[in-house]
Amino acid sequence: MKKLGQIIDGWSKLALDKVAGVDPLIRKMADERLQICDRCPIRSGNRCDPNKAGNHVETHAPTRGCGCILSAKALAATAECPLGKW
């Protein structure tokens, strides 16, 4: 259920951002996360690609992308990168 809450949080903030803008601190956090995602080998467009894999930065375990839309996921404060980058 935690992941569902993160998905709802991210998408609701993405919708709010399109209409009125989100809190500047949330926007800053999302922008910083997306800058990290820009260099990520498991990113495909605006998606964390579940068909691609990389190594987790702490455990070094091979890990697949989560399939999330990054512009929404980056806005969810409790969401985490599957590779542990944020």
Phi, psi of 62 (to 5 degrees): -60, 130
- Intra-chain end-to-end CA distance of the chain, in Å: 20
pLDDT at position 55, please? 98
pLDDT at position 2, please? 63
pTM (2 d.p.): 0.78
With 0-12 / 13-18 / 19 or more C-beta atoms within 10 angstroms meaning exposed / middle / buried, residue 11 is middle
pLDDT at position 68, please? 95
- H or E, element range at 43: strand 43-44
Mean pLDDT by 10 residues, the chain (86 residues): 72 71 88 97 97 98 97 93 98
